[in-house]
Structure 1
Amino acid sequence: MPAAKLLMFLSLFGGKPGSAAALDNCVFLGEEEKNSLYEDGDVVIGGLFPLHYSPVSSLPTYNTKPTANMYKYFSSRALRWMQTMTFAIKEINQRSDLLPQLKLGFHIRDSCDDIPVSLRASLLLVNGQPESGSRAESCAALQRTLSPVIIGDAASGVSMALLRSLGSFHIPLVSYFASCSCLSNQREFPTFMRTMPSDAFQIKALAQLVSYFGWTWVGVIGVESDYARFAIQLFLQESVQYGVCSAYTHFYPVALSQQALDELLDVIQMASSKVIINISGESEMQSILREIQHRNITGLQWIASEAWATAKSLWEKFGDLLMGTLGFAIRRADVIPGLKQHLTSLSYIHESAFLAEFWEEMFNCHLNGSVNRHSHGVDNYFDRLPCKGTEELNDVYSPYSDVTQLRVSYNVYKAVYLVAHALQDMSNCTVGLGPFLNGTCADPKNFKPWQLIYYMKRANFSALGEKVNFDQNGDPNAYYDLMNWQRMPDGSLHLVKVGFYDASSPSGRTLVINGSVIQWPVGKQASRSVCSDSCPPGSRITRRKGEPICCFDCVPCAEGQVSNKTDSLECSRCSEDTWPNKARSLCIPKIIEFLSYHDLMGILLCVVCIFGACISLSFLIIFFTYKDTPLVRANNMELSFLLLVFLAVCFLVGLLFIGEPSDWL
């Protein structure tokens, strides 16, 4: 690996005593990299931050040695994360109750959000910082400056690459922004921890969010990376439980070419869904929004992943497209005391290439002797005026000095304190009762990285009033703020908290939303995004062959059947004493019709029945009175009596049909 001091690597991580350790000097191989931020200490904490991103594509000619990569953008937001790390370390060094006998230092490098660059920088961190600047250093001197732990990186894919390289040496890596659920695999990444919740929880929150607003037909896009692939795979699995389907799933490359943008935008325009979940970073989102603006596509409801849910820099050019955006943001610190002053007090900008470049970008000027003019392709560098040195950061807005949304910065702050508390627990170890072989303890000024990770896994502390602890996978408790992008009267962006997701809450109450304060892209209510309209009561769903479950037809219930809820899968038959209403949505009691004694027909029937019965009984009495006469005897007296009795009964039976029927009738 270029620029890695391989001899030092052998002496620190398992080289034989008679080989590298016996050498007086460790030779620096490759080109020396000077762009770093370093401060000495008893324990030097390494840091990796994506200060540059979006590489400029170039084709090597193979005629000359390839030049260093150039990048389009400088991230002042990432610079704030870096400065938060230096602030936290200086704050700890000033405390008397935490590591009073130990001074923390730092060694910070730019990862450029690029795996090769980040891997090279990490190897430089774990091999130490040259003090004299010469190419040959004392191995003992370098050993004092090596970083036994690294805070970084921001991207999940970069962090995975670092772990596969550094994990063999048991060097702990504490990420402040890598959220891929794949990193929770402790068998594959046993030395990984993070102050960023796993995507497994964010995806649960996203699935509940789209279900809450009735969006069952959503587009899902993501950058071609492990971060997005694992997240989208989890979302597709989780959304099934809520009846949510993806109208399309599309991955696009990190370096977005015009062809890739055209393919993505064609998919978005052709789909009927106006709700889009984008699992990506801020840089990729810039390119997508630029093309959407060019095509004049409006009315989209964006659902942001935590990577860009609070990226205010996107609002400056694409505010009209992002109004109403919803996204889950990681836990915010209301304030980190002293951080604002630390960020704006940059009296040493000439000493740091990173700060010098930020200053030039911020005020569009150049510093004498700056090494940054070719770092990211600035063509008009020498056309700029010299920096006066009297510029004030408080006079201009910059994501660097904006401390209203301290989320990732807060994660960096907690990561530093995680290492500090682990070192404190190591310092409190009692000889003979230690956790290592034969009850031994580790020396806080001379320990192995695997000894530090032991204490980090068991850390339990408070940071700015929040209880910080980790589960068996090295993940913190999952809590997200639901943010809504709203336009202020002056056109500026206002990130409004409209809800939250707390994974520690009981099931069914993990997601809380205040829908009345949400500002939507179009209108005053959430837009509809469904493949098929809901089937009303009185009908049932029939699936369309070969299409997602969210796409269906509605069929009316058959005769004698009803469905009393929306989107019923089947209809039920009514009982014998009930029948369906006209809408076939409810079984109602059958209507019983009967003749009443107060109705005309009832009165007529009653009169006829009584009159006929009286006539029959009259003849019966007459026949009984003259039963001994030859006429009666000749007409079969017994049969005549029987017929008259039954005839009277038949007339009286008609009375049973008058009045409301009862059980005994």
Structure 2
Amino acid sequence: MCWFSWLFTLWASSAPSLLLLGLVGRQPGLKVGLQGVQTVTCSRWGPPSDESLFQDGDVIIGGLFNLHYQTPAIDHDYTQQPHYKPCTGLEYPPLQCMYAMIFALEEINHNTTLLPGVKLGYHIFDYCGRPPWAPQATLSLAGGNSNTCNLTDDSDGQPVPLIIGASSTVTAEILARILGPLSVPLISYLASCPCLSNRVQYRNFFRTIPSDFYQVQAIAQLAIRFSWTWIGAVIENQNYGHTAIKIFQEETQGAGVCLAFIEILTRETIVSDARRAALTIQASTPRVILVFAWYTDVRELFLQLVKINVTDRQFVASESWSTSGDIIQDPETRKVASGVLGVAIRSSTIPGFENYLRALHPFHHASDGFLREFWEVEFGCSPASLSACSGAESLEKVQNVFTDVSQLRVSYNVYLAVYAAAHALHSLLSCPNRDRPAGNRSTCSSPKHIRPTELLQHLNNVNFTTPQGETFYFQDGDIPAQYDLVNWQNTPEGTLKLVLVGRVDGFDIHLNESLIQWNTGSSQVSTSVCSETCPAGTRKSNRKGEPVCCFDCIPCAEGEISNTTGSLHCDQCPLEFWSNENRTACVPRHLDFLSFNETLGITLTTAAVSGAVMTTAVFVVFLRYSQTPVVRANNSELSFLLLVSLKLCFLCSLVFIGRPSVWSCRFQQAAFGISFVLCVSCLQVKTIVVLAAFRSARPGAEALIKWFGPGQQRGSVCLLTCVQIIICAVWLSLSPPVPKHDLGFHGSKVTLECSMASLVGFSLVLGYIGLLAFTCLILAFLARKLPDNFNEAKLITFSMLIFCAVWVAFVPAYISSPGKYTVAVEIFAILASSYALLFCIFAPKCFIILLRPEKNTKKHLMSR
């Protein structure tokens, strides 16, 4: 059989074909025939360790542990057969796990309710942590041949119905495929790859450690919780590392978490790989480093980091090394390992286990080569050599990783695996008709003839309560996910201690952040970002060609906000709101209108009031000198009416200033339209009167003046004004202007204005004023050269030119002006045209009346 192990040293992958090998091991004739081959080949091709541990019993439980770490170099030049030397470097944690298995078996053997009358034995192999070396021991156990490759021959050749072991995913995959065709159950205490949950491929595989999916998902939640967006990763070059980092990337996708680098450690080249990874960590910017690797590889990595003095990184540990006493107690690695936060296999206690360990002694276990080797390492003496021990050596006061049972994790998993196997055997061997004749007991199994297929069925249905009071069961070969969250903290003595800071139940994390001591030595959470989180009021802008967690922070534009840190985009404020100065909140827009309190409003109000006052003053002057020729010669009644209309024009502009309301919006346009029509009508009638007066002086035209007497003049003004009144009434009744918030103006202010619901009405009002003004201009232009020393038509012509120019310019200015400046443009046009009429028509007359009274005579006015 041993020559088949040579295939695995070159790498025998999956092994459905090894069913034949299993069958060979079960056929005595072939088995004997292979013994000669075994003797020759195993001396050169054997496993690295030449020791096993055997205890006879009614049922033998197989065990596989990687008790040694320092593997020998292998020559793969294929020119000759490589020779394996014994593996060295005894590891204390796996040794404790092995004795946890033995302790559990002895505890069950003393139990009167579990497997009564059945003694459990064991056969334990060391495969040195090398997956290619595990199949030989496995096949030896499954085939019942223990005398292979120089192993001690203490067993009777009975095949084991169940194997506890495989501390790595790769080994577990190989062994599960080998044992699958034989239906031999394999219970792993440390193989955690999610791939092993596939019951189609690994129907005979069970484990007492949760799937890695849960621990990686917990680590991903921690990274998101602490806002670690720029992380480095170091993984082992096996399924454990590659699967873990893949799950981590999937779980953090979309959360802005990036991996700056991924360094891979290979067991065969660990020193050079660890040195390379250490240099990468030193040169990179991430402050948080995830490590998914075996604790011996992590120890080498930390030693390399110490050499280059990199002690300021925050490490996040997987369960494979988060509780490693070798690293915690090493004075060198402490410099790097301070503050480690990790996911750990749940801790529990095994009553009586510490006393059992401390009572171990080689003199009482003469066949236990592993214990002898431990004794040599711990006490420096060999119980079986010339450097004999005194016999006084004892583990009672020894404090090391082996005797430390304060937080049993992997060892407790082994303990659970043994109890799961025992309960499955108990269920299988519990036969209610065992006392009947043999012919009626065909369906019952005996300890010496256990069929693995039947044991496999019972193992699937295991459900029991452990001696510690915990309920244990398998869910398709897995157990419910439970982890501890641990933190490596400094002590006053300068050492590190393991502190429990939380736990993981399935997908839920319960963490007490106040208990955590980070690598800085404080309780302040370590930061690890490529770019600092964008504050509120800004958004992320990814840098071209760089990971998504490397970005710039761009301030939000006006009218946009981001009220959270790390926002990917800015949100547009609603129409009636605007962003504040910091771009962190939408605030109501400032209500903007032309008010009496602002500079522009005060200026226009002053101009309007001044115009009204000057118009009143002119009215008083004309009233005081109403009998003088200048006043009487220019139709004093129309002059007074014109002054009243001008005053109304000045005053109507005040209605446009202030907060718009329903009535002010209606009144301002009506007052504006009617006042200006009244004003222009007076001018038009005055111009017609001048023309009629001069035309009546011609022969045969005396009756013309009769048609433009005082009554006709008043009637004409009223008629022309009534037309505008009718237009305004219809407009305001059908579709009047209403107050409205103008949100179209892009800014922090919202303009409250009178919205023209009907531009047709407003156009008719302006158009009618323009028609009268244009007609008046034409008439005045025709009368400008009539013989008169004081021809008023000239003044009307000039004033109408200014009037028309102002209102022609008003239209484009009104359309293009924003917000409240639209109202200001209209008020300016009203005031400008009113002042033009006031000064052009009445200023010359007031000048004569007040400053040149000698010209205010009939003789002077009649002269040519």
Q: How would you bin the TM-score normalised by the shorter chain?
A: 0.7 to 0.9
Cα-to-partner distance string for 1:599-652 (whole Å, 9 max, x where unaligned): 9998998898789779989989x99xx9xxxx9999698998699468537615
Paired residues for 1:369-518 under 5 Å: 369=385, 385-428=387-430, 441-445=443-447, 446-463=449-466, 464-472=468-476, 474-503=477-506, 510-518=508-516
Cα-to-partner distance string for 1:152-200 (whole Å, 9 max, x where unaligned): 1111111111122222211111000111111112222111010001101
How far off its partner does 1:593 sit? Answer: 5.6
The aligned residue for residue 30 of structure 1 is 38
Q: Distance in 2 between matches of 1:633 and 1:425?
A: 135
The aligned residue for residue 543 of structure 1 is 542
State which of 185, 189, 210 in structure 2 corresponds to 1:172: 185
State which of 367, 375, 391 in structure 2 corresponds to 1:351: 367
Structure 2: give runs of 5+ residues left out of the alignment: 6-17, 43-48, 434-440, 663-737, 740-753, 755-864
Paired residues for 1:153-232 under 5 Å: 153-232=166-245
The aligned residue for residue 838 of structure 2 is none
Q: Distance in 2 between matches of 1:286 and 1:173?
A: 30
Instruction: Rate the CA distance shift 1:601–1:321 in 2: closer, same or farther, 3 A.
Output: closer
State which of 125, 149, 153 in structure 2 corresponds to 1:109: 125
Q: Distance in 2 between matches of 1:27 and 1:77?
A: 36
- Partner AA of 2:541 in structure 1: T
Which SS does the other structure have where 1:261 is aligned? helix
Instruction: Rate the CA distance shift 1:638–1:40 in 2: closer, same or farther, 3 A.
Output: farther
Correspondence 1:275 to 2:275: no
Moved more, 396-405 or 562-571: 562-571
State which of 517, 520, 524 in structure 2 corresponds to 1:519: 517
- Partner AA of 1:332 in structure 2: S
Paired residues for 1:567-646 under 5 Å: 567-592=566-591, 644=644
The aligned residue for residue 803 of structure 2 is none
Q: Distance in 2 between matches of 1:419 and 1:633?
A: 132
Instruction: Rate the CA distance shift 1:63–1:386 in 2: closer, same or farther, 3 A.
Output: farther
Instruction: Rate the CA distance shift 1:130–1:108 in 2: closer, same or farther, 3 A.
Output: closer
Which SS does the other structure have where 2:261 is aligned? strand
Higher relative CO (Cα under 8 Å, sequence separation at least 6) belongs to 1
Which SS does the other structure have where 1:361 is aligned? helix
Instruction: Rate the CA distance shift 1:126–1:331 in 2: closer, same or farther, 3 A.
Output: same
Paired residues for 1:42-121 under 5 Å: 42-59=58-75, 66-121=82-137
C-alpha contact 1:53 1:75 (8 A) present in aligned 2: yes
- Partner AA of 1:191 in structure 2: N
How far off its partner does 1:590 sit? Answer: 2.4
Q: Distance in 1 between matches of 2:357 and 2:408?
A: 13
Q: Distance in 2 between matches of 1:362 and 1:305?
A: 29
Instruction: Rate the CA distance shift 1:386–1:661 in 2: closer, same or farther, 3 A.
Output: farther
C-alpha contact 2:22 2:142 (8 A) present in aligned 1: no
Q: Distance in 2 between matches of 1:110 and 1:365?
A: 22
Q: Distance in 1 between matches of 2:339 and 2:276?
A: 25
Instruction: Rate the CA distance shift 1:257–1:403 in 2: closer, same or farther, 3 A.
Output: closer
C-alpha contact 2:2 2:148 (8 A) present in aligned 1: no
Instruction: Rate the CA distance shift 1:586–1:617 in 2: closer, same or farther, 3 A.
Output: same
- Partner AA of 1:365 in structure 2: C
Q: Distance in 2 between matches of 1:642 and 1:462?
A: 111
- Partner AA of 1:657 in structure 2: I
C-alpha contact 2:271 2:300 (8 A) present in aligned 1: no
How far off its partner does 1:396 sit? Answer: 2.0
Instruction: Rate the CA distance shift 1:11–1:289 in 2: closer, same or farther, 3 A.
Output: closer
Q: Distance in 2 between matches of 1:296 and 1:614?
A: 91
C-alpha contact 2:50 2:151 (8 A) present in aligned 1: no
Q: Distance in 2 between matches of 1:658 and 1:11?
A: 103
- Partner AA of 1:213 in structure 2: F
Instruction: Please tell me whether Structure 1 or Structure 2 has the larger radius of gyration of its CA atoms.
Output: 2
Q: Distance in 1 between matches of 2:506 and 2:589?
A: 51
Which SS does the other structure have where 1:365 is aligned? coil
How far off its partner does 1:328 sit? Answer: 0.4
Instruction: Rate the CA distance shift 1:651–1:42 in 2: closer, same or farther, 3 A.
Output: same
TM-score by length of 2: 0.65
C-alpha contact 1:111 1:153 (8 A) present in aligned 2: no
- Partner AA of 1:174 in structure 2: I
Q: Distance in 2 between matches of 1:571 and 1:466?
A: 52
The aligned residue for residue 323 of structure 1 is 338
How far off its partner does 1:12 sit? Answer: 10
How far off its partner does 1:581 sit? Answer: 2.3
Structure 1: give runs of 5+ residues left out of the alignment: 370-381, 432-438, 505-509
Q: Distance in 2 between matches of 1:111 and 1:480?
A: 28
Which SS does the other structure have where 2:591 is aligned? coil
Correspondence 1:146 to 2:146: no
Q: Distance in 2 between matches of 1:159 and 1:426?
A: 25
Which SS does the other structure have where 2:244 is aligned? helix
Q: Distance in 1 between matches of 2:503 and 2:353?
A: 26
C-alpha contact 2:265 2:297 (8 A) present in aligned 1: no
TM-score by length of 1: 0.83
Which SS does the other structure have where 1:495 is aligned? strand
How far off its partner does 1:496 sit? Answer: 0.3
Q: Distance in 2 between matches of 1:148 and 1:586?
A: 70
Q: Distance in 2 between matches of 1:528 and 1:147?
A: 52
State which of 272, 288, 293 in structure 2 corresponds to 1:259: 272
- Partner AA of 2:69 in structure 1: Y
The aligned residue for residue 341 of structure 1 is 355
Which SS does the other structure have where 1:165 is aligned? helix
How far off its partner does 1:267 sit? Answer: 1.6
C-alpha contact 1:609 1:655 (8 A) present in aligned 2: no
How far off its partner does 1:574 sit? Answer: 2.9
Moved more, 148-157 or 643-652: 643-652
The aligned residue for residue 563 of structure 1 is 562
Q: Distance in 1 between matches of 2:28 and 2:68?
A: 37
- Partner AA of 2:517 in structure 1: Q
Q: Distance in 2 between matches of 1:274 and 1:412?
A: 36
C-alpha contact 1:426 1:441 (8 A) present in aligned 2: no
The aligned residue for residue 240 of structure 1 is 253
Q: Distance in 2 between matches of 1:295 and 1:361?
A: 31
Q: Distance in 2 between matches of 1:221 and 1:303?
A: 10
How far off its partner does 1:539 sit? Answer: 2.1
Paired residues for 1:296-311 under 5 Å: 296-311=309-324
Instruction: Rate the CA distance shift 1:520–1:72 in 2: closer, same or farther, 3 A.
Output: farther
Correspondence 1:39 to 2:42: no
C-alpha contact 1:606 1:655 (8 A) present in aligned 2: no
Identity across the alignment (%): 36
Task: Name the structure where helix makes up a greater proportion of residues.
Answer: 2
C-alpha contact 2:51 2:125 (8 A) present in aligned 1: yes
Aligned length: 623
Instruction: Rate the CA distance shift 1:357–1:523 in 2: closer, same or farther, 3 A.
Output: closer
Q: CA RMSD in A?
A: 3.9
Q: Distance in 2 between matches of 1:133 and 1:54?
A: 20
- Partner AA of 1:237 in structure 2: E
Which SS does the other structure have where 1:242 is aligned? coil
Q: Distance in 1 between matches of 2:57 and 2:33?
A: 21
How far off its partner does 1:337 sit? Answer: 1.1
